[in-house]
Every structure is written in structure tokens, then in C-alpha cells.
A and B are shown apart, each in its own frame.
Chain A
């Protein structure tokens, strides 16, 4: 009798649709909160949001982020404030995608996106530099460094709507 009950279950499932996702041909929709590869964002005028404060590096539990800062001038301007990230590197292989960097960032420059294809054939490939991490400049704006009129940007950190 038990044998029959077992077969009944089997036959019931035979008729069901397979649950298998045919990855990589098809993929499930990731949740909005999913934390994938990082992106460094820009303002609408093309300047980088990152101010090189290295708080992301301080917050990083895996020591995956390396930031070196330098000072902007009006001739060579990367970000609206005084300071920008001269070097910004994330070791994708060390990063644990916890998103603390995103939380620590005072200017919402670093954001974890949804890109998840992160396989490498060597360790050095996994170090993403600033060029790789930065998103494209919005259309109609000049990529950084920009040359700006003196006095346009005189704040150390761009004024934000809600600093809290």
C-alpha cells in the first residue's frame, strides 16, 4: 500500500512544470535590495560624487577598499568639493558585499548595483579601479576632470538637501 502512495506522489510531480531556472539563458529577477558590484556615481553635471573621504574604507569589514585623496583645483576638477579620490580601488574578491560602504558614504557616491557576474581567472583582475567603478558621465556633460570657472565650487562638501 505504501508503495502505491509513494508512486502516487511521484506521478503527481511528473506532471508539474520543472522548477529549474535555465541560468545563464534565463535569470530570476533580483530583489531591489540585492547587493552586487559597486558603482561610483556622478552628479548631473558629470562631476564625481566621491569626495575621497575614505569612510567606506574605514567601514569596510574586509579591508577591500583603498582610497587615496587629493585636492581639486578649478583647472582640474573631479568633484564639487575640495577633495576627490585620486585612487579608488575595490578588491572584488575581498569584498563581502555587505553594503557598509554604501551606508558610510556621506555623498551617496558608492552604490552597490545588481551586477553579479564576478568571476575571475586571476587575482589581479579582481581589483576594480576608479575607471571601472565610475559610471558614465551623463549625456551632454564632460567627463572628469573638468575645467570650471573659479568660484563655482567653494564648499568643502556640496550642500545636501538633508544632511542627516
Chain B
């Protein structure tokens, strides 16, 4: 092969990809060159000097290109006079290194000894102890004893909160700058820096609030010592005491692969609880990074105080705790009385298996309407048609490729996609962001197009008519990915937008290929699964318009999401709710049945790239909660619909038989793993950090209809009437915030300081007109609700519209864009 070169490591020849970093190449060849500062995902800096090797090159005759031989007939090697850092060297043909000479051993020993001069001896209490690169490399390469006087060691502050989530131990830091470089190169939130010089060098944060990044937890993973620790895991357990369970992030459409570190806990009655959430490598999905919401948003799984512990049924106005048997009999009875007028609304946190059983139950009873919640994002069918092709990897996008992000605040909606697209932008991809307001993604965009929110559904018309150059750049790109959200559009607008996006891709031929196609920022973990199993937002709208006699509400917080829900739910006779939380029951709910969270059962989600991924049982159930599929199955058996089913994997087999998209998918196929590069998660924690090796499966991507040469046709864009604000009204645009007060996130108390107080962003001109100043309390009446929130007049909103983040106050904000009154409270 032409793109490989021959290098010699310790007198053995290896063929490695040309231009590869020498440390990576040696790693592939099975030779571990120890490193502290180098990380395979980041640019080398050569700061720690741990990777020193003897280096030379085979001499060739300049004229003929032939290898020069010495007297004995061996190739002549010209050695560098001193040791060289391997991490700052890229492999080239004829490169010769030696890693096992006394000189190299001496150098390694000296580097370790030097690092240890100011490193404290507190391994016994250090959270990194046991998975610490410095510890391991000291054992392997370090001096056996110390020449330093222990009492003369540098004494520095050991408990510096960099933010609410990350603590710095100044003594332990070895100044490798991995955290600083991660924040700068990978996360794009350049909030960490070095301060002072020499012995006084320290990591500081230069943001307010401290360490203001949604990816801060990753720095603790890649820290080669215990200098950075997370507030969540600080002194939680020793690494060797933890049991790792592969799982999937339940919070967003990225479907980040995670590993749940479980341990029994005295404070939770001796049950196993999640001690920490760690990334699990999946180079196609989240690489080795996860967002802080994924990492710190797991506490609801253990929170006995907020979870519903046993079934509740309403009898004569009273809401009573009861047994499963009674509750199921009661619910079955109600369902029989409904006479086929049954419908269901399922939240996006339901797994495929749950949705399948819900569908079986509702259709078995003669119901037809299966609604997806929240009904904000349309066009999942289009993602199934022209979604990104099989084998897509956002990490492959680079020069010549393009990404268009439309109507989405990607950092707040799917932070991992934002991180990966930021890197694509750094590699040279064209990133175009279209939204009605400035978003964080603008910082990483080549072109930013702001449109008027009243014309949000026609964003693609605007792109083609007024920004022809950009449109041509996009269509002419080698690969094009469109990521569409639903900010500033209602459901009809979202459908129009998605259809326009699909048409745009089909027209330019960017479908049916890897790294080409449509992605959507569906809320929750299983937005695409909802579609594949027949749950649509359109059906939800229909249910709202014509409420059925009996309604299932499964893992959906209707009242907190939608101000209008109170009124239309009153028209439903019987509500059967499957819920995680012992919240105030929905008015009129007949039976509330406790279900298990993602950590308590196994199942599968379909992420925004249509990758079916499997999560595993990590802990015992809270109270009497059952998996939702089991509740529904037992209800079905009670009603004489089918037989009882024993496991989630059997349900997946059923799904695979009935739903073409899932053809061939089994739990075994989902658990398939292949070696990935870089190799992380082995004993050599120094190389890639403490992210875990993927042992739970890489998932299977469902092919889009356009894949494998499938024909797709453009659809008609039915643009709804523009939403206009008239007569002193302003457009109220609901927006998503990553940190909010949704029920799944409320138990994660350590993140609470980072959840903003309820606010509305206003334009300065509008504010002046209404006599509102920055920080005033304002009252917003829109979509049937009135909220009292603080006004932020800070340029985050365009004129004529206010940006109202959802899920920040107890009063629900409107579900979709609407016109509303804003006044000073």
C-alpha cells in the first residue's frame, strides 16, 4: 500500500500509516511509549518529556534513493545525537527508534523522578489511585526510592473548586495541559489556562461562573493524575471496587455510550447505585467524550424520594397505594370499558421494547392513535428516508465537507454533536448555522445566517434566494450533513422545515451515502425509536383535538411541558399513567404505575443517527417499579391479548420480525464490538484517559431508505401560515436549555447552581419600548399560560421576539412558537 511507511521499532520492522503520530504508530505496533501530556485526540505539545526515545533514520543515497549499507551490509542509520520526543514526531519512511536502551530507561526514570519532586504522596485517598497514569508509570519506569526530603515537598492548596463540578488539587497537577488543551481544541470552551510560571504554575479558570463548559467532566477523565476530580465522584469509591455496566445516555439524541460504575451503598439501603458515569468508547457516536448532563444527570435513578415506589389507583376520589395485581386488574377493567377508544402518548425516554408493548396493547384494544411526546419535532419519517447514511461518523467530516445546522441551539440540545461538529470545523469543514438568534454554535461556524422567526419554516427558501453563495457551497460540498431542530417553528412549521431540508439534500444528491443526509435534534433519547414504532407527533395533535376515553401517558411529563395540557386532559375519562416519579398526579389520572429507569432494566434506544444501541441492567429496582414493557405486557395478558413475555431481548426479536427497519437486529447483534482506534480503556490508562473500552456493543445503524441506492423523491413543502405578532405582541420562542428543571434532572443537586433562574431574553429595542430593563421581572402571557420571569436584555434575542427557555420555572412555557404579551411585572 502506498499510504503506509516502514518504520523500525527496537529493530523490528512495522508498516504503519504514513504521517501518523509516532506514539500512535508504536501503540498500533504493540509497543507502548509512555506519555503524560500526549493524548491521541489532541495535538502533541511535548511538555512532559516522558516519551523520549532514541531516534534515527536510515540513510539513502540522495541521487539514486538506494539505502546505504555499512561494512557489514546493514543499513546505515544516522542517529540523532540526543533523545527525541516521540509524540512530536510523525512517522516517515525509514524512521528507526529504540525504546529499550539504557539511555531511554534512564531518561524515563529521570522524568518520573522529576515529576515526583513536587507530587504529594496521597495516593491512598486520591480518586485516581488505582487508575492513575503517574502511579502506573512510576511503578513501571520510576526510581525505586526517592532522593527527596519528604517534608520539603511543595505544599499547595488541595481543594480549589474550578467550578461547581470540578475540583483542582494544585499539588497533584503535573502541568501536562491536557485539560487546557481539551477545553480549547476539543470542547471549544477555552475557559482554562495556565497562570504564573515555573514552580508557581497553576491551572486557573477564566470564566464566570468557573469552568463554564458543558464538557468539564471529560477533563477529569484525561487528567493523568488526580488533580482534577468531579464533585459527583469525589471520594465516592476506589476504582477497583466499581462494577462497570455498559449503558446509553438517556438524556439526548446523541445516544452517548456510557459506562455506569456501580457499587453498593450503605446510605441507599445497601443497594447498588451509580457512583459515576464514565464515557465508553464509540468512535462513531461520542468518541470518548460525554457531556456533563450525561455525566452528572444520573441521580434520579437512585432517588427514592422523588420516584414512584408502588402502584396508585384512584377509588372514589382517593388515591391509594396498592399492589400490582390490584392495580393491573383495575386498569384492565377500565380498558375493557373503553370499547376501543384507547390512545397512548409516549415520552421519548421510552425504550423500543416499551414502545412496542404499548403499541401492541393499544392496537390490540382497537385503538389507533399512538402519540409521541413532546409534539415539537416533526419529520422523523424524513430522517428515516434521507437520514445520514450507514457508517456515518461526524468525526470523519473535514476539508471539503459541509454541515448545515438549522433552527437548533445545538450546544443546548445535543452537546456531543456540537463538540464533534466544532472539531469538524477545525478540520476544515464548512459549518453553516441558520437560526433566528445568535447561538453558541455561531462561534464554530463558517457562515451564520439569521432569519426572522416569523419565517423560520421557510429558512431554506431564504438560504437559496438570499444566500446563494452559501447554498452553492453547501450543495457543492463533498459531503453534506443537515442537522435540523425545531426552534421557532410549530409542528407544521417543523414538518415544512424538515421537508425543505430533505429536498435540499435530495436535490444536491447528498443522500444515501455515509456522512451525508439529515439528522434531527429530537428531544430525549429515543425520538427516532418513537417514529419506527409508530408513535408520531401528528397523532399526539389528533389526540389533543379529539381526546379518547382511555389515554395512556407513558413516561411523559405533559403538565410540565405544555400549559394547554391541563385543559384537554380534563376531557379524557380515564388516564393510565406510567411514570418514574411520584409527582403530583395528572388531574383525573386513574392509575399511576411505577416504571423502572434506564439503569434498572435492559433495553435499546435509537439515536438521532438511527443507531440502535443497547443498555444493560445496572441496579435493582426502586420500590416495586417494573420495566414499562412488563407492565404493559401484564396488562395485555390480563386483557387476554397475547402471552406473557419474559425478557426485553424476546421483544426485540418480535420487533425485528414485525418492523422492517429493525430486520436482523437482535440483542446479540447490538452487543457486537470491534477494535477501535485509539485504543483506550486498557491497563494503559495514560494513553487515552480513563474512558472505558466498549464491551457492551457498538450498536447497529438502521439503513435510511436512500441507502444502498434506494430511490427517494422530493416531497411538497407545505408551508404553514407565518406566525405573526400583531398589536404590541411579541413572538415568544421557546428554547431548550441543557441544564433545566425537568424531573429527571431535579435529583442531580450538584448541578443545581448551574441551572439558570427562569428568564426571558429580550432585544434591547423591544425592552426599551416596553420600559423593561435588564434584570426586571416581566410577565409573559402566551399559549394559555402566564409566566413571571426575569428579563435578560443582552442581545440574545432578535427584535420582535423573546426567547423563553423551557423547563426553567414550575409554570410551563409554551410548547411551540406563539405570539404573546410581554409586560413589566
**Interface residues, chain A, CB within 8 Å of chain B?**
51-55, 57-58, 66, 68-71, 81-83, 86-87, 106-107, 154-157, 159, 163
- Report whether A70 and B235 are in contact in the complex, using a CB–CB cutoff of 8 Å: yes
- Report whether A57 and B241 are in contact in the complex, using a CB–CB cutoff of 8 Å: yes
Please name 16 further chain A to chain B contacts, defined as beta carbons within 8 Å, in addition to the given A69-B237, A71-B235, sorted by A numbering.
Answer: A51-B125, A53-B125, A54-B237, A58-B238, A58-B240, A70-B235, A71-B234, A82-B159, A106-B124, A154-B158, A156-B126, A156-B169, A156-B171, A157-B121, A157-B122, A157-B124
Residue of B nearest to A68 (CB): B266
B120 at the A/B interface (Cβ < 8 Å)?
Answer: yes
Nearest 7 A/B pairs, CB to CB: A53-B124, A156-B122, A83-B125, A69-B235, A106-B124, A87-B266, A157-B122
- Please tell me which one of the listed residues B120, B171, B238 contacts residue A54 in the complex, with CB atoms under 8 A apart: B238
- Please tell me which one of the listed residues B122, B158, B235, B266 contacts residue A52 in the complex, with CB atoms under 8 A apart: B235
Residue of A nearest to B263 (CB): A68
Q: Once the chains are docked, how many angstroms separate the CA of A98 from the CA of B672?
A: 44
CB distance from A87 to the nearest CB of B (A): 5
Task: Write out the residue numbers on chain A whose beta carbons fall within 8 Å of the beta carbon of B121.
Answer: 157, 163
- Report whether B150 and A155 are in contact in the complex, using a CB–CB cutoff of 8 Å: no
- Report whether B266 and A156 are in contact in the complex, using a CB–CB cutoff of 8 Å: no
Q: Once the chains are docked, how many angstroms separate the CA of A68 from the CA of B125?
A: 12
- Report whether B125 and A52 are in contact in the complex, using a CB–CB cutoff of 8 Å: yes
Task: Write out the residue numbers on chain A whose beta carbons fall within 8 Å of the beta carbon of B237.
Answer: 54, 68-69
Task: Write out the residue numbers on chain B whose beta carbons fall within 8 Å of the beta carbon of A69.
Answer: 125, 235-237
Task: Write out the residue numbers on chain A whose beta carbons fall within 8 Å of the beta carbon of B158.
Answer: 82, 154-156
Residue of B nearest to A162 (CB): B150
Q: Once the chains are docked, how many angstroms separate the CA of A81 from the CA of B158?
A: 10
Task: Write out the residue numbers on chain B whose beta carbons fall within 8 Å of the beta carbon of A156.
Answer: 120, 122, 125-126, 158, 169, 171
Contact residues, B224-273 vs A (CB, 8 A):
234-238, 240-241, 265-267
The digit string for B96-134, where 1 denotes a CB below 8 A from any CB of A, is 000000000000000000000000111011100100000
Task: Write out the residue numbers on chain B whose beta carbons fall within 8 Å of the beta carbon of A51.
Answer: 124-125
B151 at the A/B interface (Cβ < 8 Å)?
Answer: yes
The digit string for B476-505, where 1 denotes a CB below 8 A from any CB of A, is 000000000000000000000000000000
Q: Once the chains are docked, how many angstroms separate the CA of A154 from the CA of B169?
A: 12
Q: List 10 A-B contacts (CB under 8 A).
A: A53-B129, A54-B241, A68-B267, A69-B235, A70-B235, A86-B266, A87-B266, A107-B124, A156-B122, A157-B121
**Interface residues, chain B, CB within 8 Å of chain A?**
120-122, 124-126, 129, 150-151, 155, 157-159, 169, 171, 234-238, 240-241, 265-267
CB distance from B240 to the nearest CB of A (A): 6
Instruction: Check A157/B150 contact, CB under 8 A, given A68-B265, A70-B235, A71-B235.
Output: no
Task: Write out the residue numbers on chain A whose beta carbons fall within 8 Å of the beta carbon of B129.
Answer: 53
Main secondary structure of the interface of B (DSSP, over half): loop
Task: Write out the residue numbers on chain B whose beta carbons fall within 8 Å of the beta carbon of A155.
Answer: 122, 155, 158
Q: Once the chains are docked, how many angstroms separate the CA of A155 from the CA of B150?
A: 13
Instruction: Check A163/B235 contact, CB under 8 A, given A58-B240, A157-B124, A157-B125.
Output: no
CB distance from B169 to the nearest CB of A (A): 8
Q: Once the chains are docked, how many angstroms separate the CA of A51 from the CA of B155?
A: 19
CB distance from A75 to the nearest CB of B (A): 14
Task: Write out the residue numbers on chain A whose beta carbons fall within 8 Å of the beta carbon of B169.
Answer: 156
Instruction: Check A163/B122 contact, CB under 8 A, given A58-B238, A82-B158, A155-B158.
Output: no
Residue of A nearest to B240 (CB): A58
Q: Once the chains are docked, how many angstroms separate the CA of A25 from the CA of B129?
A: 49
Task: Write out the residue numbers on chain A whose beta carbons fall within 8 Å of the beta carbon of B125.
Answer: 51-53, 69, 81-83, 156-157
- Report whether B235 and A83 are in contact in the complex, using a CB–CB cutoff of 8 Å: yes
Q: Once the chains are docked, how many angstroms separate the CA of A87 from the CA of B267?
A: 9
Task: Write out the residue numbers on chain A whose beta carbons fall within 8 Å of the beta carbon of B151.
Answer: 159
Task: Write out the residue numbers on chain B whose beta carbons fall within 8 Å of the beta carbon of A66.
Answer: 266
Q: Once the chains are docked, how many angstroms separate the CA of A107 from the CA of B267?
A: 26
Task: Write out the residue numbers on chain B whose beta carbons fall within 8 Å of the beta carbon of A52.
Answer: 125, 235
Task: Write out the residue numbers on chain B whose beta carbons fall within 8 Å of the beta carbon of A87.
Answer: 266
CB distance from B689 to the nearest CB of A (A): 22
Q: Once the chains are docked, how many angstroms separate the CA of A68 from the CA of B158?
A: 21
CB distance from B152 to the nearest CB of A (A): 12
Q: Once the chains are docked, how many angstroms separate the CA of A151 from the CA of B372?
A: 56
CB distance from A106 to the nearest CB of B (A): 5
Q: Once the chains are docked, how many angstroms separate the CA of A154 from the CA of B155?
A: 9
Task: Write out the residue numbers on chain A whose beta carbons fall within 8 Å of the beta carbon of B159.
Answer: 82
Task: Write out the residue numbers on chain B whose beta carbons fall within 8 Å of the beta carbon of A106.
Answer: 124
Q: Once the chains are docked, how many angstroms separate the CA of A101 from the CA of B429?
A: 57
Residue of A nearest to B125 (CB): A83
Task: Write out the residue numbers on chain B whose beta carbons fall within 8 Å of the beta carbon of A58.
Answer: 238, 240-241
Residue of A nearest to B264 (CB): A66
* Interface hub of B122, B159, B241 (most chain A Cβ within 10 A): B122
Q: Once the chains are docked, how many angstroms separate the CA of A155 from the CA of B235?
A: 15
Q: Once the chains are docked, how many angstroms separate the CA of A156 from the CA of B124?
A: 9
Task: Write out the residue numbers on chain B whose beta carbons fall within 8 Å of the beta carbon of A54.
Answer: 237-238, 241
Q: Once the chains are docked, how many angstroms separate the CA of A83 from the CA of B171?
A: 16
Task: Write out the residue numbers on chain B whose beta carbons fall within 8 Å of the beta carbon of A55.
Answer: 124
Task: Write out the residue numbers on chain A whose beta carbons fall within 8 Å of the beta carbon of B240.
Answer: 58
Q: Once the chains are docked, how many angstroms separate the CA of A154 from the CA of B156?
A: 9
Task: Write out the residue numbers on chain A whose beta carbons fall within 8 Å of the beta carbon of B236.
Answer: 69
Q: Once the chains are docked, how many angstroms separate the CA of A83 from the CA of B169?
A: 14
Task: Write out the residue numbers on chain B whose beta carbons fall within 8 Å of the beta carbon of A163.
Answer: 121, 150
CB distance from A70 to the nearest CB of B (A): 6
Q: Once the chains are docked, how many angstroms separate the CA of A51 from the CA of B129?
A: 14
Q: Once the chains are docked, how many angstroms separate the CA of A140 from the CA of B187?
A: 55
Residue of B nearest to A71 (CB): B235
Q: Once the chains are docked, how many angstroms separate the CA of A69 from the CA of B125?
A: 9
Q: Once the chains are docked, how many angstroms separate the CA of A87 from the CA of B155?
A: 29
Residue of A nearest to B171 (CB): A156
Task: Write out the residue numbers on chain B whose beta carbons fall within 8 Å of the beta carbon of A157.
Answer: 120-122, 124-125
Residue of A nearest to B151 (CB): A159
Task: Write out the residue numbers on chain B whose beta carbons fall within 8 Å of the beta carbon of A57.
Answer: 241
Q: Once the chains are docked, how many angstroms separate the CA of A52 from the CA of B234?
A: 12
Task: Write out the residue numbers on chain B whose beta carbons fall within 8 Å of the beta carbon of A70.
Answer: 235
Q: Once the chains are docked, how many angstroms separate the CA of A155 from the CA of B120?
A: 9
Q: Once the chains are docked, how many angstroms separate the CA of A107 from the CA of B125?
A: 11
Q: Once the chains are docked, how many angstroms separate the CA of A87 from the CA of B270?
A: 12
CB distance from B236 to the nearest CB of A (A): 8
Task: Write out the residue numbers on chain B whose beta carbons fall within 8 Å of the beta carbon of A68.
Answer: 237, 265-267
Residue of A nearest to B234 (CB): A71
Q: Once the chains are docked, how many angstroms separate the CA of A163 from the CA of B120?
A: 11
* Interface hub of A51, A82, A159 (most chain B Cβ within 10 A): A82
CB distance from A48 to the nearest CB of B (A): 13
CB distance from B243 to the nearest CB of A (A): 14
Residue of A nearest to B126 (CB): A156
Q: Once the chains are docked, how many angstroms separate the CA of A69 from the CA of B159?
A: 17
Q: Once the chains are docked, how many angstroms separate the CA of A105 from the CA of B126?
A: 15
Residue of B nearest to A51 (CB): B125
Residue of B nearest to A72 (CB): B235
Residue of B nearest to A73 (CB): B159
Residue of A nearest to B124 (CB): A53
CB distance from B168 to the nearest CB of A (A): 13
Q: Once the chains are docked, how many angstroms separate the CA of A104 from the CA of B338?
A: 67
CB distance from A74 to the nearest CB of B (A): 11
Q: Once the chains are docked, how many angstroms separate the CA of A86 from the CA of B633?
A: 43
CB distance from A5 to the nearest CB of B (A): 65
Q: Once the chains are docked, how many angstroms separate the CA of A21 from the CA of B516?
A: 88
Q: Once the chains are docked, how many angstroms separate the CA of A86 from the CA of B240?
A: 19
CB distance from A84 to the nearest CB of B (A): 9
Residue of A nearest to B153 (CB): A159
Q: Once the chains are docked, how many angstroms separate the CA of A49 from the CA of B705?
A: 66
Q: Once the chains are docked, how many angstroms separate the CA of A156 from the CA of B155?
A: 11
CB distance from B158 to the nearest CB of A (A): 5
Residue of A nearest to B172 (CB): A156
Q: Once the chains are docked, how many angstroms separate the CA of A157 from the CA of B120?
A: 9
Residue of A nearest to B169 (CB): A156
CB distance from A52 to the nearest CB of B (A): 7
